[in-house]
Amino acid sequence: MRVPDDAPPTCPVCGVAYDSVSEHDAGLMVNLLDNDAYRRICFDPVAVDGRPHVRFYHHTHGQVADGGNGE
Ligand SMILES: [Zn+2]
């Protein structure tokens, strides 16, 4: 996993501030049902050196609890 240094200041999917971003080049499982830290993760597909990756934008409960959730 590579943490990109060119990530935008807000989530490109929902436009809300995020807590952290991670980048993946392989499949993985996400389960937030019992996650105390994060309420939502947005997935943004990107190309890195011509190869497909997906960036995960992690939103805390506080960041999406004010209705600015784009849902
Ligand atoms: Zn988002």
The per-residue pLDDT for range 32-64, each reduced to its tens digit, is 888 889 999 999 999 989 999 999 999 999 999
Q: Collapse the DSSP code of 34 into the 3-class scheme (helix H, G, I; strand E, B; otherwise coil) and give the result.
A: coil
Per residue in 14-29, pLDDT tens?
Answer: 999 999 999 999 988 8
Supply φ then ψ for residue 11, to 5 degrees.
Answer: -60, 125
Residue 21's CB is within 10 A of a number of other CB atoms, namely 19
* In contact, 25 and 51? CB cutoff 8 Å: yes
Q: What is the pTM of this model?
A: 0.80
Please identify every residue whose CB atom is under 5 Å from ligand 1, which is an ion.
11, 13-14, 42, 57
CA distance 46 to 71: 22
Rg of the chain's alpha carbons, rounded to an integer? 12
Residue count of the chain: 71
Name the more confident of 5 and 55. 55
> Distance, CA 26 to ligand 1 centroid (Å)?
20
* pLDDT over threshold 80, residue 70: no
> Distance, CA 2 to ligand 1 centroid (Å)?
19
